Amino acid sequence: ALTIANDAVDIAMLSATGTADATTFLRGDNAWAAAASPGDLTPAFMAILDIDDSVSQGSVERINFNAEMYDTDNAYDNTTNYRFTVPAGEGGAYIFGGQVMISTDSGSYTIDTGEPHLRVNGVDRWAYTMIRPSGAYYRYWTIHFGPIVLDLSATDYVDLLVYTHTTDGGDITYLGPGSFSGGTWYGRTYFWGHKLPGVS
């Protein structure tokens, strides 16, 4: 058997196609290629409610997520319409999720129904999860929703609303940041979403 001496063959002597550099590797078909990317998860956003928001019970009320944690493509409106809009050229599959923490405005009545509504272009597009305990009522609730995958086109917009009902018709509050002995916690009411690469 023939033996090649150590260091006798260097990269320049290989006949592989492509370009050898710090970003490529030699494939089994004798070609230099870049490693596959895990995918670009943008456009992406996360918005929170940074102040308590009192709303009427017995109706579907939009949540005005007014503070952005991140917004890669400036596609979430946190000042006027409080919604995510798919940028031009970025249609495809998107995943959304979040949480809503609600309370009654006083201790004299309790919440008995909560229904998150995820809308696309102003129309309900996802079967919401209704929380309605039997024989038990509460002053504080946390509603989780998602992950929800939607097929969206450019200019489609997505927002979140919630229907609530209380035992005596008293209004409710979507909760923003809260306080504890060490400072302030966030993330009681939030909404996030991003594009899913490789999904069509």
Model pLDDT for residues 63-100, shown as the tens digit of each residue: 999 999 999 999 999 999 999 999 999 999 999 999 99
**Ramachandran region, residue 58 (left: φ > 0; alpha: ψ -120 to 50; beta: rest):** left
Q: What is the DSSP string of 167-193?
A: TTS--EEE---EEETTEEE--SSEEEE
Residue 135 has pLDDT above 60, yes or no: no
10 Å CB burial of residue 25 (0-12, 13-18, 19+) is exposed
Sign of CA dihedral 108, 111, 117, 122: negative
Region 129-157: mean pLDDT is 78
With bands split at pLDDT 50, 70 and 90, how would you rate the model's confidence at 108?
low
> Which residues 6+ apart lie within 8 Å of 113 measured at CB?
130, 131, 132, 163, 164, 165
CA distance 32 to 36: 12
With bands split at pLDDT 50, 70 and 90, how would you rate the model's confidence at 12?
low
Can you read off the two tokens belonging to residue 14?
């290989």
Q: Quick one: pLDDT at residue 74?
A: 97
Reduce the DSSP state of residue 31 to 3 states and report it: strand
What is the pTM assigned to this prediction? 0.75
